[in-house]
């Protein structure tokens, strides 16, 4: 599911930054919020996606671990971020899916 979301982001952006006529996005580093502790499987996966996005978008991707409150801390930070598309969150589907 996360792979699909990352690939959809890259497809929407049109490929590497040098290939697009629109150099406005992304105009700076991308933040990838992870609602789990560092060193776990979700953290390792998010860092691999971060490297992929760095390569495709031509901007650094900063992985930030925000564990706690069953993901609510990372979600709150995502919601309060500037809505410019430079802050993303890696989320997982719960057992209800």
- How far apart, in whole angstroms, are the C-alpha atoms of residue 14 and residue 22? 10
Mean pLDDT, the chain, whole residue set: 80
Q: What is the pLDDT of residue 70?
A: 86
pTM for the complete prediction? 0.71
Query: Can you tell me the mean pLDDT for 29-33?
Result: 95
pLDDT tens per residue across span 34-83:
999 999 998 999 999 999 999 999 999 999 999 988 888 999 999 999 99
To the nearest whole percent, how much of the chain has pLDDT over 70?
72
DSSP string, 27-82: -SPEEEEESS-TTSHHHHHHHHHHHHHHHHHSS-EEEEE---GGGHHHHHHHHHS-
């Amino acid at each position: 599911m996360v792979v699909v979301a990352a690939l959809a982001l890259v497809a929407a952006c049109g490929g590497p930054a040098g290939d697009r006529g629109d150099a406005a996005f992304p105009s700076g580093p991308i933040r990838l919020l992870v609602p789990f502790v560092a060193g776990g499987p979700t953290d390792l996966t998010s860092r691999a996606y971060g490297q992929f996005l760095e390569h495709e978008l031509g901007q650094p991707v900063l992985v930030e671990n925000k564990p706690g409150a069953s993901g609510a801390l990372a979600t709150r930070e995502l919601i309060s971020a500037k809505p410019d598309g430079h802050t993303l969150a890696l989320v997982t589907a719960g057992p209800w899916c």
